[in-house]
Chains A and B, each alone.
Chain A
Amino acid sequence: MNYLENRKYVIQAIFLVVGVVYALRLFYIQVVDSSYKQAAETNAIKTVIQYPFRGLIYDRNGELLVQNTPVYDLMIVPKEARNIDTLRLAQMLEIPLEDARERFKKARAYSWVKPSIFLQMLSTQDFAHIQDNLIDFPGFYINARTARGYPHKSLGHALGYIAEISPKQLEDTSYHGYRPGDYIGKAGIEMEYEKYLMGKRGVKYKMVNVRGIDKGPFKDGAYDTLSVAGQNLVSTIDLELQAYGEYLMDGAKGSVVAIEPATGEILAYISAPFYDPNLFTGKDYGKNYMQLLQDPDKTMFNRPIMADRNPPGSIFKLTQALIALEEGVINPRTQFACNKSLVNCHPHPSPLDLYGAVQHSCNPWFFQAYRALINQGKSKNTFTDTSLGLKDWREQVLTFGFGQKLGIDIPGEKTGIIASTDLYDRVYGKNRWKYSTIYSLSIGQGELGVTPLQMANFMAIIANKGYYVTPHIIRSVGENGKPLKENQERHYTSVKPQHYEPIIEGMAEVVRAGTARRANLEKVGIVVCGKTGTAQNPQGPDHAVFVAFAPKENPKIAIAVYVEHGKWGGQSAAPIAGLMIEKFLTDTVTMKAQEKWVLSREYLNIKSK
């Protein structure tokens, strides 16, 4: 038997020989012979990303606000793009030679074999021109995708824009699923509603042979995934009103925000100066963006929600009156004399009741009403009493949406400032300040900051007699989408509905016979209720404000117009509001004289007070 047992050595030898032969063969394939590595680089599956169609955005009447337009990226595979005449290439692409070299470097740094974007977002014309010459430049090819297009050039600040995802965002786990080169909403609606708009990327796998020639879909497309288009959005914007407002504001600086009071839907959203959103879609995107960012007029500043440093001026008198009524320290018949020793005023009959005080915007009247509100005698100590009064007052002011974000669906909203006891304690010391320190709040000056959006929302509150719905610019998502739930919440103020009546009456008088007659629409049968304001501006002419809602019965629109350096709200802001109200309610503009006046910008030449 022993000699048979020795056969185990034969068998073990066979095993070992095979093992060694295989290891050697592997060494040859994997280490010695480099041809397999090269083959793996090209003879592989090419992944073609199918970019989904981004959701479209419509206005409230079904007008297209944002569409997708085809654009073309010039792609490069550095490995195949050897022996390229860089100078000729630069000439063909109409870019500086240095730029072309820089782009080569960048592409090579990204990957030697993987395609990357050499020049992005060519227009259709550029594409045709380049396509014809591409034969001379191996390693280059055109990749078609879609970019955003804005047929109406309106609403740039609200729509926002999309751009390539930043390296920082890519590292952020909340952007899971995005890849370098992907486009993502960077501002406005595009950013806020990214998750609905983006859709789902598809992937196609193509087989490519050693020479890079397409051999058709891999496995007959069994692994391909289709892209899913993003969901369309329906905006609350009335494009016609928006465009008309932009027409009126063209050349001016400031904001216009119009809201439908009952729903909180934003009808118009203007930040002037504005820009054509199409500037951010072409290949000059970067250049245009930097230009706009640096311009002295601060075009990129989203004024309606970010300009929160300016005091509201006289329009804030309405807030003061409402809270004073609620507190019972005044009633509509309460009279105060126009005592100019308290605070400056302009000529008008005196003494006035609440209606008259609103109509004539009497400063001393509100000085005295606000004093009654703040110093209610809750404490014998004047300092403590003022502090207590201010605290109560502030709580009520906040219920009007001031001093906090309203929650509009446009990113970047600011809170504004409402004077607080903490603030004065910090500046003057505890119990070191009293009514005489803070009296300017009574007329909307001092430690107050209100955004144009908050102003318009304030008008919606008065129109609704006591509440507002979160202002929003997107009504619904998707086909036959229902209004978004988060945009339907009602927020009630601390002031009871009946106290709004005298204020509304006074506001109607302001337009009928007061400071805002340029907004008067009685000729077309519309009663407008409004209030002008002026915000002192140490840097130049005062800013002008006009807020209004109309019609008086069953209001359909609330509006705030803020014109920087507009001096007088009644001269600059009121006619713009009046014209827009008429446009929105009647679809026509009959007040041609006012329109001409606005466009002439003559209000800028009126002597300041």
Chain B
Amino acid sequence: MPVEQKVLGGKIVQPSSRRQSTSVFGNLDWFTVLLYFVLVALGWMNIYAVVYSPENIVNIFSFDINSGKQLLWIGTGVILMIVLLVVDYKVYEHLAYPIYGGIILLLLFTLAVANPVAGSRSWLDLGGGVRLQPAELAKFATALAISRFLSNVSLRQQNMKDQMVLAAITFLPAIIIILQNETGSALVFGAFILAFFREGMSPLILIIGGSAAAIFILTLLVPKLYLLIGVAALMGLAMFLDYRLMRRFKTMIALFVLIIGMVFSVDYFVNDILQPHQQNRIKALINPEADPLGYGWNVTQSKIAIGSGGFWGKGFLEGTQTKFDFVPEQSTDFIFCTIGEEHGWLGSTILIGLFMLLLMRIVYIAERQKSVFGRTYGYCVVSIIFFHFVINVGMTIGLAPVVGIPLPFFSYGGSSLWSFTILLFILLAIDANRNRELVR
């Protein structure tokens, strides 16, 4: 074997001597693995705290309760991650499309055969009481497919047709998932925009997307007139500060008209097009106190639970507001309430800090990949985890609409835990082998 010389941006880069080990475990990013296990363990304890009742104490390991079952998922997750690490890392790139195709078929199959559970047709009954939600698996499959596609055709060089294909890859699973009545999970696919941005997508789209989202939420929060006055004032200020915008006066006027149109159409969309339960979720965000036992129930209760935790929290298992599904979906979507109540601001902030560490670390890992595939996949992973984090924590503190998606690694549920385990450990497998990859 000749001496490896890697060329990056015209510079000769010596492979890191510390990363010479041929074993995948030797090159594994143990810091991320540690973060993973810390989050999973903390989640597990909080899942126990949810079902803990001094009236009826059940052992944390008992399979009668969620914590016991979760332990089973954690255990099988460990086996899963070992498998993901030991298989040839090239498989992920080479089989990206077949995996993606298989998952799409599975999604369609589920849509066709699933028995509706609470209106959702996303669960596949595997028998023996085990159920699988293929929508969870679609996340890593789509991330693989996107990465594969971008590793062949850079976003900067894409023509219209390529862009259409990329959009199709991204949104096809989302559409099927919407048809399964799992809108929350479908929204996750919008998160890939972050990965696209890193790979060269015009920042304008990010800005427009972000602004549109802001206007959407503000339309619901603030009276329309105030909102429009505010927008006009901001635009005026921008033009005052930057003379170039002044020259584009007509464009600015057009933009303002566009925003007016958007505000009104959002209003129309929410009140006339959305189904009542979707309306409620959005309205709960606006004013949960209006009807605390109605649609605002979740948000009100979760804020009360978190708020009652104070600075230090009430202590492990000492919570009173987060028991018995008082907040619905307590151990899955609203698990953060338990942290908030029992561990207070300190615990909540530490958890946020842990997620920040994880997100930063994944960005770091993505950036050190020598292949576009690896890097893009890393950004896809971080986008999904970030989106889940933003929505899941945000909805419990009234900063995001109530969308039923779990907190990564933390929430109760096998599909979710497996899905994130797969997502993360494929990245770690690719990362552990990055030195074998030649820069394209």
Contacts and interface: CB of A to CB of B under 8 A. Distances in A.
- Asked if chains A and B come from one complex, the reply is yes
A19 B352 contact: yes
Given A18-B390, A31-B345, A209-B293, A8 B367 contact: yes
Contact of B386 (A15, A215, A218): A15
B349 interface: yes
Interface in B372-409: 379, 382, 386, 389-390, 393-394, 397-399
A39 B307 contact: yes
Given A7-B197, A22-B352, A36 B293 contact: no
B69 to A, nearest CB: 19
A26 B363 contact: no
Contact of A26 (B306, B366, B386, B389): B306
A463 B36 CA distance: 80
B320 to A, nearest CB: 7
Interface residues of A, number: 42
B321 A44 contact: yes
Contact of A1 (B9, B203, B305, B360): B9
Given A5-B367, A15-B356, A37 B386 contact: no
A37 B198 contact: no
A7 B349 CA distance: 26
Nearest to B382: A11
A218 B390 CA distance: 30
A22 B393 contact: yes
Given A11-B197, A26-B340, A215-B293, A16 B356 contact: yes
B173 interface: no
Contacts of A11: 194, 197-198, 363, 379, 382
B324 A218 contact: yes
A21 B304 CA distance: 19
A5 B199 CA distance: 9
A380 interface: no
Contacts of A207: 293
A19 B348 CA distance: 11
Interface in B321-373: 321, 323-326, 340, 344-345, 348-349, 352-353, 355-356, 359-360, 363, 366-367
B64 interface: no
B316 interface: no
A23 B200 contact: no
Interface residues of B, number: 49
B347 to A, nearest CB: 10
Nearest to A201: B55
Given A26-B340, A27-B345, A215-B293, A36 B307 contact: yes
B309 interface: yes
A219 interface: yes
Contact of B308 (A22, A40, A45): A40
B367 A40 contact: no
A112 to B, nearest CB: 14
Contact of A29 (B199, B203, B307, B379): B307
A205 B324 contact: yes
Interface in A279-293: none
Could you say which of B307, B352, B353 has the most chain A C-beta atoms within 10 Å of its C-beta? B307
Interface in A39-85: 39-41, 43-45
A4 interface: yes
B56 to A, nearest CB: 8
A19 B351 CA distance: 10
Could you say which of B199, B304, B390 has the most chain A C-beta atoms within 10 Å of its C-beta? B304
Interface string B170-204: 00000000000000000000000010011110010
Given A4-B200, A36-B306, A43 B292 contact: yes
Nearest to B390: A18
B249 interface: no
Contacts of B325: 219
Given A30-B307, A40-B304, A4 B199 contact: yes
A37 B324 contact: no
B9 A37 contact: no
B321 A30 contact: no
A35 B363 contact: no
Interface string A201-240: 0010101011000010011000100000000000000000
Interface string A79-112: 0000000000000000000000000000000000
A26 B349 contact: yes
B310 interface: yes
B399 A22 contact: yes
A26 B348 contact: yes
B311 interface: yes
Contacts of B197: 7, 10-11
B303 interface: yes
Contacts of B344: 30
B326 A45 contact: yes
Nearest to B399: A25
Nearest to A34: B307
A29 B303 CA distance: 7
B310 A43 contact: no
A341 interface: no
Nearest to A30: B345
A605 interface: no
A209 B325 CA distance: 17
A11 B324 CA distance: 38
Given A4-B199, A45-B324, A33 B363 contact: no
A125 interface: no
B306 A30 contact: yes
A51 to B, nearest CB: 14
Contacts of B355: 19
Could you say which of A19, A35, A210 has the most chain B C-beta atoms within 10 Å of its C-beta? A19
Contact of A23 (B326, B352, B367, B394): B352
A218 B326 CA distance: 8
A16 B355 CA distance: 10
A176 B205 CA distance: 63
Contacts of A43: 292, 304
Contacts of B198: 4, 7-8, 11
Interface in B55-98: 55
Given A30-B340, A205-B324, A25 B356 contact: no
A40 B307 contact: yes
Contact of A22 (B292, B311, B397): B397
Contacts of A218: 324, 326
A201 to B, nearest CB: 9
A65 B163 CA distance: 88
A218 B321 CA distance: 13
A203 B55 contact: yes
A546 B16 CA distance: 105
Interface of A: 1-2, 4-5, 7-8, 10-12, 14-16, 18-19, 21-23, 25-27, 29-31, 33, 35-37, 39-41, 43-45, 203, 205, 207, 209-210, 215, 218-219, 223
Interface of B: 9, 55, 194, 197-200, 203, 292-293, 303-311, 320-321, 323-326, 340, 344-345, 348-349, 352-353, 355-356, 359-360, 363, 366-367, 379, 382, 386, 389-390, 393-394, 397-399
Given A40-B304, A40-B321, A44-B320, 10 more contacts: A12-B363, A15-B356, A26-B306, A30-B340, A31-B310, A33-B307, A36-B306, A203-B55, A205-B324, A219-B325
29 contacts: A1-B9, A2-B9, A4-B200, A5-B367, A7-B197, A7-B198, A11-B197, A11-B198, A12-B360, A19-B352, A19-B355, A25-B398, A26-B352, A26-B397, A27-B345, A29-B340, A30-B307, A30-B348, A31-B345, A36-B308, A39-B307, A40-B304, A43-B304, A44-B321, A45-B323, A45-B326, A203-B55, A218-B326, A219-B325
